[in-house]
């Protein structure tokens, strides 16, 4: 079997969930990054499903759409819980975090609302709901003591929100403990530290960075 190839931009964005899943689980992959708006990307996207990224290519097959790629990897690498109930709970959590992400995106890219509204009302409401869900299952991850695909979107979004407000997780102790724990994961920590040192942008524009 060949090494999977992940295509995304030079930013974190949606592609970062997939990168984190690969890295944390020690799965070798080729991390192919394009500069947004570059001639190389404008040309290459013509050959891609939906002309967008992230895109995953592996063994002659191509997969598009973030959620579809994440769930595919979850099934292949046993990161989808151990029952149908687990899988549905993870799907629910994943989609909830995606909804939260879109509220963040509306502020970052479309200037809807203010930073104060986002960090003091909108995101805290989302985080309070995630905190309740996180406590349903005992353990340090969303479901028990083993990571799932949904843990990577949750961690990346929590980390992004702390760039808007360093104290935003203080009222959700379970989420904060999870975020801190993920930063110390042995496979993730070197990557996260390098990412921070390199100043890799979270978004395609600098807004929201610290």
Express the helix, strand and coil content of the chain in percent, nearest 5 each.
55, 10, 35
Q: Which residue has the tokens 């203010």?
A: 114
- Secondary structure of residue 6 in the 3-state scheme: strand
pLDDT at 209: 55
Contacts (Cβ under 8 Å, ≥6 apart) of 79:
21, 25, 73, 147, 148, 149
Please give the Cα distance from 41 to 157 (Å, whole number).
Answer: 25
pTM of the model: 0.95
pLDDT of residue 207: 64
In sequence order, what are the beta bridge partners of 31? Answer: 6
Low-confidence ranges of the chain (pLDDT < 50): none
Q: What is the rounded average pLDDT for all residues in the chain?
A: 95
Rounded Cα distance, 12 and 24, in Å: 16
Reported as a single tens digit per residue, the pLDDT across 72-111 is: 999 999 999 999 999 999 999 999 999 999 999 999 998 8
């Amino acid at each position: 079997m060949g090494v999977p190839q992940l295509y995304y931009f030079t930013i974190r964005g949606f592609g970062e969930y997939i990168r984190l899943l690969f890295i944390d689980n020690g799965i070798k992959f080729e991390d192919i990054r394009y500069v947004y708006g570059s001639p190389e990307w404008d040309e290459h996207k013509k050959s891609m499903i939906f002309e967008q990224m992230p895109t995953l290519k592996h063994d002659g097959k191509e997969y598009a759409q973030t959620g579809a790629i994440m769930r595919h990897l979850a099934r292949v690498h046993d990161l989808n819980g151990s029952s149908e109930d687990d899988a549905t709970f993870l799907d629910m959590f994943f989609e909830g975090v995606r909804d939260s992400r879109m509220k963040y995106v509306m502020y970052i890219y479309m200037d809807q609302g203010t930073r104060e509204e986002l960090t003091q009302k909108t995101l805290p409401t989302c985080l309070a709901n995630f905190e309740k869900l996180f406590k349903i299952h005992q353990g340090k991850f969303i479901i028990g003591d083993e990571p799932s695909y949904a843990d990577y979107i949750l961690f990346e979004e929590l980390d992004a929100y702390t760039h808007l407000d360093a104290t935003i997780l203080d009222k959700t102790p379970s989420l904060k403990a999870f975020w801190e724990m993920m930063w110390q994961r042995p496979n993730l920590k070197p990557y996260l530290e390098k990412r921070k040192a390199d100043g890799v942008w979270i978004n395609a524009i600098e807004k929201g960075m610290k």
